[in-house]
Structures are given as structure tokens and as C-alpha cells.
């Protein structure tokens, strides 16, 4: 009898796993192997939700922008699936001392205009990056960028900066040939970019599409584009992006709308790929605001929001709820899930904190610029109403988000942040003095935290650094400058025959490998 039960149970389990396997997306590999029969002359169409912003790399840190301009400009370092830096145009590098690095580029790197890239171009370009504010804080520790010889540059920092190679993967570190940068800067016309990347610029229709052609003289012939041309289509509506893949009008959707999850996961005509992510959806608060300047009110918000509800309506339940206040995705260096075990969904505790803060409730605004964020904001809005905070949701265009923040026009906002594995690459920018006017959107200022950030980068030993970052998370849990909601699973929807799909922790990437 027992055996029969066991058999039955086993059969049921098997059936369960079988059905589960049917309805599961494919896991995107970290690397794939090229087959002999593959067609490398396809025209690939990638759809995304938002348009790029500018061909000037120092202009913005917008994701949709970075993953387009990456293809046209080369960088010293590119990133792997965990967003760690790996050499691209950099042939070799070495740390001369704790504060000085040497980077040597390959010889004979050809630009799209036929010129050869030199150390002068790299120095000029990185100095532009340093002086721009798009990633100001990332280059905060950088003292000087100088040329050593025709192929080598030196970067000195004001202390140990272990994350420097990874910092160099940021889109603002795209190397723009000096001649082009100067000409474009003078005329303020960046519309016809020249770089040394895998693709040459063909054409762009603002708000609609960007067309790139394979650059056959790419310096690394072993790693050049596996498709003939790459077209980016901007389709703002989520379901239209899905339909575009289903009907074959496009090959690859990098902004998959999880609303369609159940539909496509069972559809054998398309392939849904997934990868864990470090994209943290969070509710930001302007810490200089009348009420949000009070840590108790910020804590109350952290208790009041039902994160599971946010995840369900925001990403159809595809993700992991998190109780962090410092955008440490669970896979980041030193991440703890719930620092001090402080938070849970507890409206009663939130009300107590509001009373403790002497806050009678108030009116405010939640700024959003994407559909998911707007849905999350509606959950947040309902939850906050319970503790007396009456929030209006205001939807804006993504292009004006930065300026809205700059004008203190976003007392609350819902958006996502793609965290690096190395917290040093986001902590100072997101919560430090250096990030003010940049991506310190919550306007959080605290000298103690600034010190902890410096402490975190002062060592090359990961275990020691993890300890420091634990302290940081606990410190910020009490301070509660923002309310992290969940980490979403990263998806990409593709034609079922499309090969070369790769996804990193913030977005599908390496579109140059897409082929049939």
C-alpha cells in the first residue's frame, strides 16, 4: 500500500514538473556557441519601449540610450552578464599602485571615418566624461586621465578604487574620436555619430527607429557583429511590442511586458527568455520635502506599502519582493535581504510611526513615466491613503524625469534602478553628496554615509568590503531614504528561431550576437 502511495506521489510530482516545465521560459545562457550553419547576414529588428536620447554619451544615463549607443561606440571595457567589466578595446591593463592604473588599447583600431583610434582620443573622450555630470559620481574618485604613449593611458584616483574597470563600462565612457566630438560639440549636432564600435550609423527617425549597419572593419574580427544590420524600433505600447514578435515584424523585444507572460510562455511560435536581474523597482521620496525630511515618516512609508501587491500588478508576480532601502539587489556584493529584520507589510506600525512623527497626513504627488510604474504607483497610492498620505499620480515623459527631479518636482516617484554587483558603483551616486544633481533623486545627504562609502572602496578584499556594505544597509534601513519594492525577473521575447540571445542583470544585451 505504501509503495502504491509512493508511486502515485511520484507520478503526480512528475506530472507536475512536466506541466511546469512546459510553462517555463528558457534561461538565457551566459554565453552561447556559434553553429556552423548559422546565417550571419540577417537584418535584425529589436523593439524597445523608449527612444534613445542622444548620441552624446555624456548626456544621459538612460538605459534605452546606453544599449543603443554601445553598438556604435567602442569602450575600454564592456560588461558581462553580471555587469562586471571585461576588456573590449583595452588590450591589457595593470594597477601600478593603489591609486594609479594603466590601460593599453589595441593597435590599429579603426573608426567609421577611416581614422585610427589613439590614446589622445581616449584621453579626450574620458575627460569629457569626467567633466559631464551624467555619471559624475562614478568618476568622482578619478583624479587625472593622461596619455603615456600612443596606445596607453594612465588614470589616477584619489584613493583605492577597485570598481574602476566596471565604472569604465558605463555608457558615458563610450570613446568618441576627438575630431568628431569637437566638431559635434561645436555645432551642437550629434546626429551622425562616428565611433569605433561594431556598427556604423545609418539613419534615425526620432521617436520611431534607429538603423545601424555592420562595420566590417571592426578591430576585433573574431568578435564582430553576427548580423548584417541592426534596427531599433520604438513601440511604446507593451502589447504592441509582443504582437510585433508574434507576427514576425520584429525579431527581439528587449522590453517585454509581463502582462503577456501567460500568453507567450505557452506559445510555441515565440521564445521567452529569462535571466535573474538586479533591476530594483523602488519608491523614491524627496528627502528635502516638508514631511519626507522626517525619517519616521519615511519609515512609515516603508511599513505601509504592500510590496507583494506592487509586484503582482507591476510585473505579474515575476520577481522577488525585497525589504531594502539602499537598492541592494539580492545578488549584489554584501546584500542582505532585510537589514535589521526591520520591515514587513504592517499598516498599523506605519500609523504608529506617523503619529510618533506628529504627522497628521498630507497631500503629495507620485511621479511616474512608465506603465509598470503607473500601476505600482496606484497600489502605493491606495496603501498610503490608509496612513493619511494622499498622493496624486502624475505621469510625465521619461525625457523630463531628470529635470523634474532637479527642480524638486518629484516628492515621490516610482522607477527602476539597475544595480551593479559592486555597490560602490551606485551608493555614492544614489545616496551621496556626489550624486546631488545627478541620480541622487531622493536628495539624501549624510556625511556619515559618505564616509562609509569611502570605507567600502578603500580595500581590494571583497569579504572586508561586504562587511562595510552590511553596515551601509543597516544604516540606510533606519534612515529609510527610499522604499525598495522588488527585483523583477528580466525577460526577452524573441522569434523562436533567433539565436544568440543574451541577457544581463539589467537588460537583454549584446544585440550584435543576434542571428538566425
Which residues make up the interface to other proteins (CB under 8 A)?
A: 53-54, 59-61, 132-134, 136, 188-191, 205-209, 233-240, 243-244, 247, 249, 257, 259-260, 262-263, 309, 312-313, 371, 374-375, 378-379, 381-382, 392-397, 399-400, 402-403, 406-407, 437-439
10 Å Cβ neighbour count for 460? 12
Smallest gap from Cβ 370 to other proteins, in A, equals 12
Smallest gap from Cβ 361 to other proteins, in A, equals 15
Under 8 Å between Cβ of 86 and 31: no
d(CA 149, CA 126) in angstroms, rounded, equals 16
Smallest gap from Cβ 168 to other proteins, in A, equals 19
Residue with cell 519601449: 49
β-pair partners for 252? 46, 494
The single-letter DSSP state of residue 110 is: B
Cα dihedral 237, 239, 242, 247, rounded to 10, equals: -100
Decide: helix, strand or coil at residue 232: strand
Cα dihedral 260, 369, 131, 473, rounded to 10, equals: -80
Smallest gap from Cβ 421 to other proteins, in A, equals 24
Smallest CA-to-CA distance from 418 within 54, 64, 25, 26 is with 64
Smallest gap from Cβ 219 to other proteins, in A, equals 30
What are phi and psi for residue 271, nearest 5 degrees? -120, 125
Nearer to other proteins, 17 or 262 (CB): 262
What are phi and psi for residue 433, nearest 5 degrees? -55, -40
Smallest gap from Cβ 191 to other proteins, in A, equals 6
Nearer to other proteins, 17 or 390 (CB): 390
d(CA 389, CA 412) in angstroms, rounded, equals 11
Smallest gap from Cβ 247 to other proteins, in A, equals 6
Decide: helix, strand or coil at residue 52: coil
**Chain-centre distance of CA 488, in angstroms?**
12
Smallest gap from Cβ 282 to other proteins, in A, equals 19
Nearer to other proteins, 402 or 483 (CB): 402
Nearer to other proteins, 52 or 476 (CB): 52
β-pair partners for 27? 274
Question: Using CA of residue 185, residue 188, residue 194, residue 196, what is the dihedral sign?
Answer: positive
Within 13 A of 191's CA, how many CA atoms are on the CB side? 7
Grid coordinates belonging to 333: 556584493
d(CA 394, CA 278) in angstroms, rounded, equals 26
Nearer to other proteins, 304 or 505 (CB): 304
Nearer to other proteins, 129 or 510 (CB): 129
Nearer to other proteins, 98 or 267 (CB): 267
Q: Work out whether strand 43-48 and strand 252-253 pair parallel, antiparallel, or are unpaired.
A: parallel
Smallest gap from Cβ 81 to other proteins, in A, equals 28
Nearer to other proteins, 188 or 461 (CB): 188
Smallest gap from Cβ 120 to other proteins, in A, equals 25
Nearer to other proteins, 87 or 238 (CB): 238
Smallest gap from Cβ 182 to other proteins, in A, equals 16
Nearer to other proteins, 250 or 336 (CB): 250
d(CA 53, CA 179) in angstroms, rounded, equals 22
Beta-sheet strands, E only, within 158-221? 199-205, 209-214
Cα Rg of the chain (Å, integer): 24
The single-letter DSSP state of residue 101 is: E
CA distances to 140, 449, 458 from 466, in Å: 21, 15, 12
CA distances to 153, 314, 379 from 311, in Å: 46, 5, 10
Nearer to other proteins, 259 or 355 (CB): 259
Nearer to other proteins, 37 or 407 (CB): 407
Smallest gap from Cβ 217 to other proteins, in A, equals 28
Amino acid at each position: 500500500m505504501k509503495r502504491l502511495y509512493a508511486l502515485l506521489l511520484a507520478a503526480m510530482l512528475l506530472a507536475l514538473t512536466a506541466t511546469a516545465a512546459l510553462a517555463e521560459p528558457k534561461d538565457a545562457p551566459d554565453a552561447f556557441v556559434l553553429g556552423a550553419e548559422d546565417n550571419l547576414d540577417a537584418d535584425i529588428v529589436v523593439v524597445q519601449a523608449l527612444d534613445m536620447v542622444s548620441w552624446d554619451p555624456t548626456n544621459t544615463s538612460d538605459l534605452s540610450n546606453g544599449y543603443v549607443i554601445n553598438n556604435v561606440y567602442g569602450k575600454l571595457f564592456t560588461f558581462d552578464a553580471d555587469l562586471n567589466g571585461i576588456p573590449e578595446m583595452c588590450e591589457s591593463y595593470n594597477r601600478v599602485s593603489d591609486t594609479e592604473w594603466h590601460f593599453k588599447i589595441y593597435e590599429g583600431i579603426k573608426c567609421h571615418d577611416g581614422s585610427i583610434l589613439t590614446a589622445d582620443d581616449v584621453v579626450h573622450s574620458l575627460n569629457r566624461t569626467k567633466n559631464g555630470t551624467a555619471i559624475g559620481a562614478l568618476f568622482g574618485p578619478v583624479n587625472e586621465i593622461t596619455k603615456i604613449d600612443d596606445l596607453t593611458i594612465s588614470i589616477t584616483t584619489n584613493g583605492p578604487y577597485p570598481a574602476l574597470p566596471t565604472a569604465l563600462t558605463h555608457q558615458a565612457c563610450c570613446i568618441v574620436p576627438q575630431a568628431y566630438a569637437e566638431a559635434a560639440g561645436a555645432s551642437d549636432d550629434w546626429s551622425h555619430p562616428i565611433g569605433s564600435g561594431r556598427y556604423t550609423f545609418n539613419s534615425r527617425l526620432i521617436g520611431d527607429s534607429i538603423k545601424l549597419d555592420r562595420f566590417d572593419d571592426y578591430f576585433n574580427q573574431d568578435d564582430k557583429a553576427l548580423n548584417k544590420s541592426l534596427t531599433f524600433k520604438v513601440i511604446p505600447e507593451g502589447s504592441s511590442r509582443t504582437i510585433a514578435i508574434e507576427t514576425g515584424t520584429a525579431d527581439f523585444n528587449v522590453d517585454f511586458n509581463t502582462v503577456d507572460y501567460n500568453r507567450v510562455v505557452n506559445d510555441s511560435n515565440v521564445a521567452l527568455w529569462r535571466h535573474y536581474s538586479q533591476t530594483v523597482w523602488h519608491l523614491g521620496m524627496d528627502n528635502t520635502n516638508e514631511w519626507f525630511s522626517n525619517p519616521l515618516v519615511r519609515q512609515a512609508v516603508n511599513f505601509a506599502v504592500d510590496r507583494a501587491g506592487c509586484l503582482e500588478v507591476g510585473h505579474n508576480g515575476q520577481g522577488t519582493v525585497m525589504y531594502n532601502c539602499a537598492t541592494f539587489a539580492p545578488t549584489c556584493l554584501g546584500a542582505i535581504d532585510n537589514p535589521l529584520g526591520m520591515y514587513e507589510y504592517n499598516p498599523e506600525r506605519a500609523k504608529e510611526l506617523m503619529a510618533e512623527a506628529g504627522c497628521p497626513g498630507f497631500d503629495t504627488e507620485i511621479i511616474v513615466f512608465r506603465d509598470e510604474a503607473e500601476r505600482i504607483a496606484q497600489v502605493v497610492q491606495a496603501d498610503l491613503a490608509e496612513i493619511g498620505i494622499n498622493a496624486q499620480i502624475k505621469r510625465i515623459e521619461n525625457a523630463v524625469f531628470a529635470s523634474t527631479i532637479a527642480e524638486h518636482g518629484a516628492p515621490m516617484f516610482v522607477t527602476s534602478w539597475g544595480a551593479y554587483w559592486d555597490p560602490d558603483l551606485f551608493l555614492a551616486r544614489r545616496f551621496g553628496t556626489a550624486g546631488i544633481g545627478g541620480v541622487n533623486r531622493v536628495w539624501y545627504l549624510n556625511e556619515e554615509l559618505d564616509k562609509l562609502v569611502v570605507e567600502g572602496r578603500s580595500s581590494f578584499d571583497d569579504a572586508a568590503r561586504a562587511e562595510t556594505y552590511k553596515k551601509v544597509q543597516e544604516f540606510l534601513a533606519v534612515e529609510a531614504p527610499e522604499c525598495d519594492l522588488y527585483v523583477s525577473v528580466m525577460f526577452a521575447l524573441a522569434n523562436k528561431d533567433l539565436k544568440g540571445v543574451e541577457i544581463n542583470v539589467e537588460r537583454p544585451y549584446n544585440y550584435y550576437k543576434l542571428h538566425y
